[in-house]
Amino acid sequence: METCRQYYETLGRDAQQRFRFQHISTDEVYGSLGPEGLFTEDTPYAPNSPYSASKASSDHLVRAWQKTYGFPAIITNCSNNYGPYQFPEKLIPLIILNALAGLALPIYGKGENIRDWLHVEDHARALVLVSEEADIGQSYNIGGDGQFTNLEVVELVCQMLDAKNPGGTPHNKLIEFVADRPGHDARYAIDSSKIKTDLGWTPSYHFEAGLAQTIDWFTENQKWWQPIRDAKYDGRRLGAGR
């Protein structure tokens, strides 16, 4: 942050007026929700793992630099992203690629953890809008209005792939429940009312339609993901602890 502030101070007045430091964070910083409720921008931070605590600390640092030094920062906290070009370790591309290869589809615990799914294109639109329209010092939650359990997500992927290959063995036969990871929060869900009201943003993708588009993309773009699977990531779920 000090380096960023030093750079900011080298700018002329006009450039400083246009400058924004946009910090892109996550809903993990708020901890875990119970059966009801949504995360708002005023939800107290309560990270439950060292991983999410590191993200929360970065939010606090950005906010502190803005409040103490007037550094022109904005913070956004998003829900789970999905879509084209996502690294194959993440749940949705992992399940798609394992299913295409006839490999096990690993799900942590009983698959009951709930996430709010946000298509990457909707997230990108929101970030551009925030950078252009938001006031300095503001924070915005960005969610996709699509809550599903991990098991429901995997079942949907299986159903969509089955529809592409009617008559084959149902892909859900490949589902395998594995030991849960430490500090695995039960539910995340975003209230995006502020960005909708202040800036006019809304998600354009319903989850099922976005998931179908994502499956099509990974099915048609093996040249992109195969080298990653071959050389960088072998398909194992990460984050299971020591």
> Could you list the active site residues?
27-28, 51
Q: Are the C-beta atoms of 141 and 40 separated by less than 8 Å?
A: yes
Tokens standing for 114? 């709930």
Q: Are the C-beta atoms of 4 and 21 separated by less than 8 Å?
A: yes
Q: Token match 């913070």: residue? A: 75
Sign of CA dihedral 37, 39, 41, 44: positive
Nearest to 184 by CA among 230, 150, 219: 150
The DSSP symbol for 43 reads: S
Nearest to 84 by CA among 203, 224, 205: 224
